[in-house]
Amino acid sequence: MEEVVLLGFWTSPYVMRVKIALLEKGIEFQYKEERDVFEDKNKSELLLESNPIYKKVPVLIHNGKPICESLIILEYIDEVWKQEQQLFSADPYYRAKARFWIDFFDKKTTTCGKKLWANKGEDQDAAKREFVECLKLLENELGEKPYFGGDHFALLDIALIPITCRFYTYEKLCKFSVEEECPKFMEWVRRCNMRESVSKTLPDPFKVFDFVLEVKKRFQIQ
Amino acid sequence: MADEVVLLDFWPSPFGMRVRIALAEKGIDYEGREEDLSNKSPLLLKMNPVNKQIPVLIHKGRPISESLIIVQYIDEAWSNNKSPLLPSDPYQRANARFWADYIDKKIYSTGRLVWGTTGEVQEKAKEELRESFRVLEKELAEKTYFGGDMFGLVDVALIPFYSWFYTLETTANFSITEEFPRLVSWAKRCMQRDSVSNSVPDQYKIYDFLLDLKKKMHSIE
Q: CB distance A137–B50 less than 8 Å?
A: yes
Closest chain A residue to the Cα of B96, Cα to Cα: A72
- The CA distances from residue B70 to A67, A73, A87, A160, B99, in Å, are 23, 20, 19, 21, 16
Closest chain B residue to the Cα of A70, Cα to Cα: B98
**Shortest CA distance to B30 belongs to which of B86, B96, B85, B77?**
B77
pLDDT at A102 (0 to 100): 97
Residue A75 at interface with chain B, using a CB cutoff of 8 Å: yes
Would you give per-residue pLDDT tens digits along chain B (221 residues)?
A: 446 999 999 999 999 999 999 999 999 999 999 999 999 999 999 999 999 999 999 999 999 999 999 999 999 999 877 799 999 999 999 999 999 999 999 999 999 999 999 999 999 999 999 999 999 999 999 999 999 999 999 999 999 999 999 999 999 999 999 999 999 999 999 999 999 999 999 999 999 999 999 998 887 65
Within 10 Å of residue A222's Cβ, how many Cβ atoms? 7
Q: CB distance A100–B65 less than 8 Å?
A: yes
Residue B76: its chain A contacts at CB < 8 A?
Answer: 92, 95
Q: Would you call A43 exposed, middle or buried from its count of C-beta atoms within 10 A (0-12, 13-18, 19+)? A: buried
Residue A72: which of B73, B98, B135 has the nearest Cβ? B98
Query: pTM for the whole thing?
Result: 0.95
Would you give per-residue pLDDT tens digits along chain A (222 residues)?
A: 689 999 999 999 999 999 999 999 999 999 999 999 999 999 999 999 999 999 999 999 999 999 999 999 999 999 999 987 899 999 999 999 999 999 999 999 988 989 999 999 999 999 999 999 999 999 999 999 999 999 999 999 999 999 999 999 999 999 999 999 999 999 999 999 999 999 999 999 999 999 999 999 999 887
From chain A residues 82-141, the ones with a CB under 8 A of any chain B CB are 92-93, 95-97, 99-100, 103-104, 137
pLDDT at B2 (0 to 100): 43
Rounded CA gap, A91 and A100, in Å? 14
The answer to whether A119 and A127 are in contact (CB under 8 A) is yes
Rounded CA gap, A106 and A140, in Å? 17
pLDDT at A100 (0 to 100): 97
Q: How many CA atoms lie within 13 A of A178 on its CB side?
A: 25
- The CA distances from residue A195 to A12, A151, B87, in Å, are 19, 14, 34
Report the DSSP beta bridge partners of residue A60: A6, A67
pLDDT at B82 (0 to 100): 77
pLDDT at A78 (0 to 100): 97
pLDDT at B80 (0 to 100): 76
pLDDT at B221 (0 to 100): 54
Q: CB distance A92–B77 less than 8 Å?
A: yes
ipTM: 0.95
The residues of B whose Cβ lies within 8 A of any Cβ of A are: 50-51, 59, 62, 64-66, 69-70, 72-73, 76-77, 90-91, 93-94, 97-98, 101-102, 135
Rounded CA gap, A29 and A27, in Å? 6
**Shortest CA distance to A114 belongs to which of A11, A212, A6?**
A212
pLDDT at B1 (0 to 100): 46
The answer to whether B62 and B47 are in contact (CB under 8 A) is no
Distant-in-sequence, close-in-space partners of A174: CB < 8 Å, separation ≥ 6: A116, A124, A125, A127, A128
pLDDT, tens digit, 9 for 90 and up, residues B130-176: 999 999 999 999 999 999 999 999 999 999 999 999 999 999 999 99
